[in-house]
Structure 1
Amino acid sequence: MNNAISTEKAPAAIGPYSQAVKAGDTIYVSGQLPIDPATGAFASDDITAQTRQSLTNIRSILEAAGTDMSKVVKTTVLLKSIADFAAMNEVYAQFFSEPYPARAAFQVAALPKDALVEIECVAVL
């Protein structure tokens, strides 16, 4: 049985989806835009701050699910510009330690609300 996970410490879904879903011992976190849940606005207009906010949102959702960043096994990073890869990677490295999760990173044509980054993940309990 699937159970929705939600927290006010991360932005509410902007469509018909859950912040995360628990299925068995696995947590699937929806793509997190860099929205500050306190203001409803982007944390900033630069990739460093936006990456930090997206990952902070993920951390908050995982905590609400009863797990943490050390239990993330896979991430997907969507970038508006692949030129931001190095700057995103510097911030990303501050949220994870070895063994690092598996990851895919893509440049996409556009992201919701014209964000610079969106990150999703899969974690275990």
Structure 2
Amino acid sequence: MNKNAISVNMYLRSTKRRNKDGSVVEYLQLAQNERHPDTRKPVANIIHNFGRAKQLDRQELIRLCRSIARFCGLTVNDPLDPASGALPSPEAGFFVDPKIRKTRSFGCPMVIEALWERLGLKKTLADVVKA
């Protein structure tokens, strides 16, 4: 990496605030981490306030993500859009109550095989046989 290159770590930041009535309001911000010149500890620098999360249009955020991704040569798949073909994440609420239908016991043979592969015993024994 070039010594003069600047490392930028941008992310979408979520902050929550509790109102006097006990309700919670969530805000979204575009932020990046910078190091404090004296303490050298990372400090969040807010680049843009999007506002209250409940008042944001999700589709506008997706368009922004796709625009940035297009510039970077990447593709963004929306897991909540069935047409995108992306697999839904557990956080999206699609895997609410999974049921285990059947289990199998592998136990010792699986552990021994994993150790055999990790330690490279197959290659070692093959080399010994060739010698």
Which structure carries more relative contact order (alpha carbon 8 Å, separation 6+)? 1
- State the TM-score, normalized to the length of structure 1: 0.28
Larger radius of gyration: 2
TM value normalised by structure 2: 0.27
Q: Hey, which of these two has a bigger chunk of helix by percent?
A: 2
